[in-house]
A and B are shown apart, each in its own frame.
Chain A
Amino acid sequence: MLNCKDTTRLLSQQQDQSLSLRRRMALRFHLMMCSGCRNYNKQIDFIHKACRRFSGKE
């Protein structure tokens, strides 16, 4: 089972490429139980949006 540290690594990687089905399932399972990692995921999503705004794309 994934720990939080590996989960954050995969969540970040998911911003850059699509993950295998096996990894996506493992992530989903971890996120169901872990509010810290759910928040981490929302936070890096927000950072991505902020970067788009910052670079004049929106």
Chain B
Amino acid sequence: MSLHTACYPVPGIPIPGWLGYTVGYFSGPFSVMREPLQSVANQGAEDAFSEAAIAALRHDMLRFARLQLREEAAAEDAVQEALAAAYVARDGFAGRSQLKTWVFSILRNKIIDILRQRTRHPTQSLTADDGSDMEVEQLFNEKGMWHRQKRPTDWGDPETELDNTQFWRIFELCLDELAEQPARVFSMREFLGFETAEICAELGISESNCWVILHRARSRLRLCLEKEWFAQG
């Protein structure tokens, strides 16, 4: 896929306010990045590229990128490049939902590229147990059965939570609690859609290791959601 090759604005195309912001990122001080979108007139841009639409989209993209890259500057960078690529190709969009799908697919490709570069220089063992799995282990008795008080509970109809912004805040917090390496494997599987065989190849681990890591990550995440959201009523 070469969706992510057209990263920068091309000369001759008028640059709207939110994209001018990209220039600020590359040339200005760090604080510039955090300022609200500049209210430069957005001549001729379609609805999908209105400042409000882009601000909302940018917020979702940043959240997504930040969780996986775990580095603010790299996340900002990837998001701005994805938005810039989308803007260059803006004539092809029918509307907002199509833009979102497209720009997220560019962003996913950018994140994959960055993660690939990073895994060539791994800093930590992927399978090391950082001790945070104790809490999951303690849910079971010596026979490997759930302790009565610690059985997973019925979450009812949890899909209604997907429209609740507060839920997403907790979801994000729980993801943040995963150690870096399990979080990376989990992201590659659940957010970027890699098959486990591909993850193993990328990270140089065995497939059974991959399943162990994914299982730990899911178990931590569901425990965190249960405690921090569903048990709170």
Residues of A whose CB lies within 8 Å of any CB of B are: 3-6, 8-9, 12-13, 15-17, 34-37, 39-40, 42-44, 46-57
Shortest Cβ distance from A46 into chain B, in angstroms?
A: 5
A16 touches which one: B151, B159, B162, B196 (CB < 8 A)?
B196
Q: Is the CB of A12 within 8 A of B214?
A: yes
Show the binding face of B for A, using Cβ within 8 Å: 60-61, 64, 100-101, 103-105, 107-108, 140, 143-146, 151-155, 158-159, 162, 168, 171, 189-193, 195-196, 210-211, 214-215, 218-219, 221-222, 225-226
Contact of B189 among A16, A46, A50 (CB under 8 A): A16
Given A3-B144, A36-B151, A50-B171, residue A55 in contact with residue B215 (CB < 8 A): no
Cross-interface CB contact of B144 among A6, A42, A43, A52, cutoff 8 Å: A6
The answer to whether A39 touches B152, judged by C-beta atoms less than 8 angstroms apart, is yes
User: Distance in Å from the Cβ of B187 to the closest Cβ of chain A?
Assistant: 9
A44-B222 contact, Cβ under 8 Å, with A3-B145, A50-B162: yes
Which 9 pairs, one residue from A and one from B, show the smallest C-beta to C-beta distance?
A: A56-B104, A3-B144, A36-B151, A5-B144, A51-B190, A12-B215, A39-B152, A36-B146, A55-B191
Nearest-neighbor residue (CB-CB) of A9 within chain B? B215
Q: Binding site of A, secondary structure by majority: helix, strand, loop or mixed?
A: helix
